[in-house]
Structure 1
Amino acid sequence: MSGVVLTSGWVIALLVGLTVAAAVATAAFWDRGRFRVVHRAAGLLVVQLLLLVSLAAVVNKQANFYVTVGELLGQGGDTYAQTLPADSPRLSVDGGQDELAGWIAAHPAAPGRGTVIPATLAGRSTGYALPAQIYLPAGYRASAGDLPVVMFLAGYPGTVFSWLDSVGVGAALDEAIGSGRLPPVIAVMAEQDPVRGRDSECVDSALGVKSDTYLTSDLPEIIHKHFRAAQGRQNWAVAGYSTGGFCAVNLALRHPDRFGAAASLAGYFRPLIDRSTGDLYQGDLDLRRANDPRLMIGQSRPQPLDLFLTAGADDRSAQRDLTAFAPMVRAPDTALVIADRPGGHNFTTWRAILPDLFDWLDERLGGGHRTAA
């Protein structure tokens, strides 16, 4: 039961069918039986509950919050094999090139559109085999030269489909690259939670889960192996919304050799311990401090970091975090802060900020000029 995929069409159809059947049954037996008040109340209650569950399932499919029943119930477990198409390539540093070539040949992109490859990325350091969506810009195979890379991280709950299906980053990249506002880039929508149903915060936790290592060591190694990804921190950026925003800033501060730029869309800047994360640090104060952007932003690093920080004007929690953190960014680090755009903590707000994000990335990827805001 825990492996049932909630975003499957048959699951939603079943729930809708049960809702309709319950409504019909309630109407049919409305005036029958001796205890009419009881069965009428029970019928109405069942119909309303099924209606709410059906609506929740539709919203969940659109927003990509939970994939399986087990994830919804916080049971964790390895259910990632069910989240990607059966013919998706499995990529590692030791293999997968033939599978990748076959998948690309079998799924040609429309003219002017990028190719999105669903793939399992099997890491060498961690042993994790996690799903990803990899965007290659239009003309990738015909062009020469290595391309910058942007890693996109979702909030919690969220999936590797969230940036594409809910934020619409694929179509936005097509438009920005096609119009010349952004250089051709490889975009990687990465899975950040090695244990399904448990928020990793993208850290190497005291519990032994190594999300940080997977994202900053295993994933770049695989991307460099299979794609024309440019080397150097000036060619790598990381962006995230909500929890993914914390991840982006935290990872960039922890790995200045890997990322030259990080973007937080309605993120926060403090390490959390809550029901979704569990106790990631197990009382290890040094480990917790080593994953606190508020402490790390003032530390000396070999290279400065460029930050893109934004939150919708109606997103009160994110606004408080942004207002507290932004003044901590001092030269030679830079921060572009956008806090006056309308919107709350939702995909519509984050979709609307993409043009600004891409303009900012255009100035930084590939060693573009640095401007302080």
Structure 2
Amino acid sequence: MGLTSNVFLGLVIGLALVFFAATIWLWPRLARRSVRAVLGRVGLLLVTQVMVFSSVGLLANNSFLFYGSWADLLGQKQDLGVVTDHAAGTLAAKNIVRVGMQLPDVPGASRPAKSGRIDKVVISGRRSGIESSAYVYLPPEYFQPAFARRKFPAVVVLTGYPGIPENLLKGLGYPRTAHERVKAGRAQPMILVMLRPTLAPPRDTECVDIKGGPQTETFLAEDLPNVVSDGYRVGRLAHNWGIMGNSTGGYCALKIGLHHPDRFAASVGLSAYYKAAEDPTTGDLFQGDQQARNRADLMWTLDHLPKQPDSSFLVTTSRHGEGNYRSTQQFISKVKSPAQVSSIVLDSGGHNFNTWRREIPSALDWMSSRLSEN
């Protein structure tokens, strides 16, 4: 029974209610001062509390998807089985391998031409030497004869730290939202490449190239677009590509968009921060290299670029509930032409999935307006 299964959640809640009722019912019988009665009271209280706390923990995990499976919770290695397709026109075996497929959670999902498709893939970066799993959402139009020769714009979508890619499918519902925005005529069909920025778990690399360590920026900015363009009908020019994410993923999206305008025309930071974190989860990212540290500071970069890139940036924050309100306003003030900046500012909203779900539809519409297929 899966960790995020509703059946398992219902079972645990049901057991919590049963033990709570049993405690109330049996308490008078256990009111004596004998050792057996005392042990009975302690046992009932302990089991009831464990079940209540388990119920609360499971509810929180199902809402925010901190852990997607028992293996993820227990920190066990999860090896991916590799399937190689040999038919003509399939994915490039060396750089991108499809290891699973599923239909998106959209109304009337029956076949890809109606609902689109989500491929689970393993991407191998030649320059970075990094291998990462990802989910690729293909819109219904990708499978329709009328669009058979069309190349689609693509958006890299990043989780926060230490999120898992499943957060983007289940907790934040990117494929479903993208499908709805196209149906509503608010956005064009786009391919979404969804993964976590933590490419050397459990280390948080803050999407930088670490000397003698993981080359995360190279993977995201160079390897990933090249590999995906090899395997799917996606263009290779900057206006074919966007990048977005929440929290750490938002910082990464803005940083990579700022430093690689030749790869990405548009970047979205949902509840982003603007300077690389340096703490026990990151380790020594810069190894005393102040130039590298400055480069990872987006405010410093905007102040010191000879000319800002001809790129578009969207940042989001809340007047109440977010800790990045002032820094976001500062970032907005530093963006100068030819760069363009837009913002979503909520009256209130915390650093959580509920807030990001309120921002994602408009963010996808904005992204769609900045990208083109040709």
TM class, shorter-length: 0.7 to 0.9
Question: Which residue of 1 is the match for residue 48 of structure 2?
Answer: 47
Question: Which residue of 2 is the match for residue 59 of structure 1?
Answer: 60
Is the counterpart of residue 131 in structure 1 residue 133 in structure 2? yes
Is the counterpart of residue 156 in structure 1 residue 161 in structure 2? yes
Is the 8 Å Cα contact of residues 93 and 124 (structure 1) preserved in structure 2?
no
Identical positions, percent: 30
| 1:1-373 map, 5 Å | 6-7=3-4, 19=16, 30=27, 31-32=29-30, 34-35=34-35, 36-37=37-38, 39-41=40-42, 43-67=44-68, 78-79=77-78, 81=80, 94=94, 103=101, 109=111, 112-141=114-143, 142=145, 143=147, 144-206=149-211, 208-298=213-303, 299-301=305-307, 303-366=309-372
**One-letter code of the match for 1:147?**
F
Larger Rg: 2
Matched residues in 1 for 2:113 and 2:233: separation?
Answer: 21
Question: Cα RMSD over matched residues?
Answer: 3.5
- Alpha-carbon offset, residue 260 of structure 1: 1.1
- Alpha-carbon offset, residue 25 of structure 1: 7.4
Write the deviation string for residues 242-279 of structure 1: whole angstroms up to 9, x where unpaired. 11110100111121211111011111101111233333
Write the deviation string for residues 271-327 of structure 1: whole angstroms up to 9, x where unpaired. 111233333223332221121111112313584221001113323302132123221
- Secondary structure of 2:178's counterpart equals helix
Is the 8 Å Cα contact of residues 154 and 240 (structure 2) preserved in structure 1?
yes
Residues 14, 183 of structure 1: CA spacing in aligned structure 2 closer, same or farther, 3 A cutoff? same
Is the 8 Å Cα contact of residues 95 and 124 (structure 2) preserved in structure 1?
no
- Secondary structure of 1:146's counterpart equals coil
**One-letter code of the match for 1:149?**
A
Question: Which residue of 2 is the match for residue 371 of structure 1?
Answer: none
Matched residues in 2 for 1:41 and 1:245: separation?
Answer: 47
Is the 8 Å Cα contact of residues 93 and 221 (structure 1) preserved in structure 2?
no
**One-letter code of the match for 1:312?**
S
Residues 194, 300 of structure 1: CA spacing in aligned structure 2 closer, same or farther, 3 A cutoff? same
- Alpha-carbon offset, residue 223 of structure 1: 0.4
- Structure 2 unaligned segments of length 5 or more: list them: 104-108
Stretch deviating more after TM superposition (258-267 or 347-356): 347-356
Stretch deviating more after TM superposition (15-24 or 213-222): 15-24
Write the deviation string for residues 43-86 of structure 1: whole angstroms up to 9, x where unpaired. 3244223321332133223322234677657x6x753639xxx8
Matched residues in 1 for 2:198 and 2:319: separation?
Answer: 29
TM, length-normalised to structure 2: 0.81
Matched residues in 2 for 1:216 and 1:80: separation?
Answer: 25
Matched residues in 2 for 1:239 and 1:160: separation?
Answer: 13
